Chains A and B, each alone.
Chain A
Amino acid sequence: MIIEHPLLGPRDAAEFVYLGDASLIARPDWENPDAGKEFFEYLYLRDNPEGMHRELWYHEQGDRSWLVVTRNTLTHEILNVELARQIALAMGR
Chain B
Amino acid sequence: MADYQLEPFPFLWGKERYFGDNYLDIVSTQAIVSIAIPRDNEDVFASDFTNAFGPCPPEPGHSVFSQNRDFLFLWMSPDQIFALFERDGLYPELTVQEKLGNTGYITDQTDNWCQIRLSGPDIFQAMERICPLDLNNFPVGKCARTVMEHLSSVLVRESEEGFLLLSPSSSAQSFLEAIEQSFFNTGDY
Contacts and interface: CB of A to CB of B under 8 A. Distances in A.
Contacts, number: 35
A85 B152 contact: no
Nearest to B76: A63
Given A62-B145, A63-B78, A65-B78, 20 more contacts: A7-B60, A7-B61, A8-B60, A8-B144, A9-B61, A11-B132, A11-B146, A12-B132, A12-B133, A14-B147, A15-B146, A61-B145, A61-B146, A62-B144, A62-B146, A63-B60, A64-B77, A65-B77, A83-B78, A85-B78
Interface of B: 60-61, 76-78, 132-134, 144-147, 152
A10 interface: yes
Nearest to B148: A61
Interface residues of A, number: 15
B40 to A, nearest CB: 11
Contacts of A7: 60-61, 78
Contact of B132 (A9, A15, A85): A15
B62 to A, nearest CB: 10
A15 B155 CA distance: 14
Contact of A10 (B76, B134, B147): B134
Interface in A32-67: 61-65
A14 B61 CA distance: 18
Contacts of B76: 63
B118 to A, nearest CB: 20
25 contacts: A7-B60, A7-B61, A7-B78, A8-B61, A9-B61, A10-B134, A11-B132, A11-B133, A12-B133, A14-B147, A15-B147, A61-B145, A61-B146, A61-B147, A61-B152, A62-B144, A62-B145, A62-B146, A63-B76, A63-B77, A63-B78, A63-B145, A64-B77, A65-B78, A83-B78
